Amino acid sequence: MQVGIDDLAIYVPKLYIDYKDFAQARGINPQKLEYGIGIKKMALVDTNQDSACMAANACLKLMQKNDLQPQNIGRMYVATESALDESKAMNSFVIGMLEEVYGEGSFEHAGGIECKFACVSGSYALYDNTNWIRAEENNNKAAVVIVSDIAKYDIGSAGEYTQGAGAVAMLITENPRLLAFDSKIASTIIKNEYDFYRPFGKETPLVNGNYSNLLYLIQVKKAFDSYKEKAIRTGLIRLRNGESITDHIDLFSVHLPYRKMGEKALAYLLRHEWRHLPRWQHIIKEIGMIEPVPKDPRGTIESILADKEFMESDEKFRRAFMQTSSYNEVFEQKMASSLEASSLIGNLYTASMYMGLRSLLEFEYKKGVELESKRIGFGSYGSGSSAMVFSGVIQPEYRGLVKNMNLEEEIGMRTKLSIEEYEEVHKNERNLNDCHLRGHKEFVLVKIGGSTADKAGFREYNYLN
Ligand code: COA
């Protein structure tokens, strides 16, 4: 049985900050943001928006464009690290909003939970719901997986230029039109880490940026090793002499805290996969430098980061590798299209890789590439930490869906905030009703908390026509 993503819909808030304004305000060279990080616009939520209404807006779009009724949906999972309540799942807020449109009780038959594991939880949600359908527990109903997040970092921190906000809703069905997941190969890795975390009550995370970058690369590589073993063992991929498994993956979609991180993740993976193959000799010749090894190759991430000599020469090698024709050919053909949306929206935590998938499909199609039967390899990462590597194959009916994808049109007219306006929103200095944009044909937050103590934390939403 083929199960996978039948269709997807996105929601991106219409406020943004421009990288040039941001660079000027923080005294940063704008080229660092444009090329070093890969950001041009960072999407921001208005005072009358939160992660739940973004999730509901993405889900409503998905339902409307596919003529779905609540009766067609048996499960709804919401993956987020921007939770609104320690106990009440984001799903219940989302269901409440959708029932404003579809009628009270219209989702009563369905089920679902909120999932948390930093940016990777959406991938676990997809995997679990795919297997719910494979196990034929679904009673002919579809599952919806929504990933929705607000990436918010402290003002003045290095993370501040990797902010963003948005949601993606995905319809999971049997015989999907877009992408069928390969079975029995999804691979995970998990470890207790403090690379990025947000203790209770804190609105912004505590992050060890460089540590989190390296951990992401290492964890995805380890999950990829396990994926490779399964793909070969199950006969999904057959390697000939001198081949790498990356030769059999046509397109890549990876976790994208910022555009440049996707480029680096591909470089790390290719180095790992190619260094024992005959092609590596040509690459080393082109680079003109031997690949460095740490003083203690079996050391910890801390010991590798502390090995200054290695880190410096490895950075030099990595940059040179990213200039080689071998890297650039793979990058242009297999990854570049997935990074377009990231530059225009910013970090979306759980939704970042799936916005990347959306971007990959749209921009590869616009290049005129035939996508049918192409295998997409996914490298999902969540701090804390866990990685999941899996793959899927683009289905014949993809054209009917992808031909209508237009990111700029879908986001619509955007409003640029000045740095002063942005900081005011960031510091929660504006009242909920004092929003910049009122909203049109979407759910918005209208009230938090009731007049009595037993209504503390109540959130009320309205659909604006
Ligand atoms: N022109 C072009 N590029 C420039 C530049 C300029 N004038 N000045 C600096 N750069 C480049 C740097 O060379 C570097 O590129 P490289 O990665 O190819 O080496 C890049 O800009 C980033 O600069 P750097 O100083 O190394 O990092 P930073 O201190 O700005 O921090 C993060 C970057 C990502 C670590 C930080 O934004 C962060 O902590 N983000 C949140 C955590 C996160 O997203 N983690 C990801 C894993 S989940």
> Among residues 368, 425, 373, which one has the least CA distance to residue 398?
373
Ligand 1 atom 24, closest CA? 36
Residue 450: pLDDT band with limits 50, 70, 90: confident
What are the tens digits of pLDDT across the range 415-442? 999 999 999 999 999 999 999 998 999 9
Query: Where residue 298 falls among pLDDT bands split at 50, 70, 90?
Result: confident
Residue located via tokens 């996105």: 10
Number of the ligand 1 atom closest to the C-alpha atom of 261: 46
* DSSP H/E element including 218: helix 209-233
Above 90 in pLDDT, residue 452? Answer: no
pLDDT for the residue 297: 85
pLDDT in tens, 115-150: 999 999 999 999 999 999 999 999 999 999 999 999
**Given the CA of residue 161, which atom of ligand 1 is nearest to it?**
37
pLDDT band of residue 112 (cuts 50, 70, 90) is very high
Say what percent of the chain tops pLDDT 90: 96
The residues with which 3 forms a beta bridge, in sequence order, are 174
Specify the range with the lowest mean pLDDT, choosing from 73-82, 205-214, 222-231.
205-214
Distance CA 116, CA 82 (A): 9
Average confidence (pLDDT) over 197-211: 95
Q: Convert the pLDDT of each residue in 278-289 to its tens digit.
A: 999 999 999 999
What pLDDT is stored for residue 458 in this prediction?
A: 94
Atom 7 of ligand 1, nearest CA residue: 32
Q: What is the pLDDT of residue 205?
A: 98
Q: How far is CA 324 from CA 110, 274, 313, in A?
A: 51, 13, 17
What is the arithmetic mean of pLDDT over 147-171? 98
d(CA 273, CA 173): 33
- pLDDT (0 to 100) of residue 173: 98
3-state secondary structure of 350: helix
Token representation of residue 338: 């997935």
Record the tokens describing residue 353, joined without a space. 């890789």
Read off the pLDDT of residues 54-90 as tens digits, 9 standing for 90 and up. Answer: 999 999 999 999 999 999 999 999 999 999 999 999 9
pTM: 0.97
Average pLDDT estimate for 159-163: 97
Nearest of 103, 76, 109 to residue 90 by alpha carbon: 76
- Tell me: pLDDT of 202 over 90: yes
Residue to substitute in 22, 37, 206, 321 for testing ligand 1 pocket (most ligand atoms within 8 angstroms of CB): 37
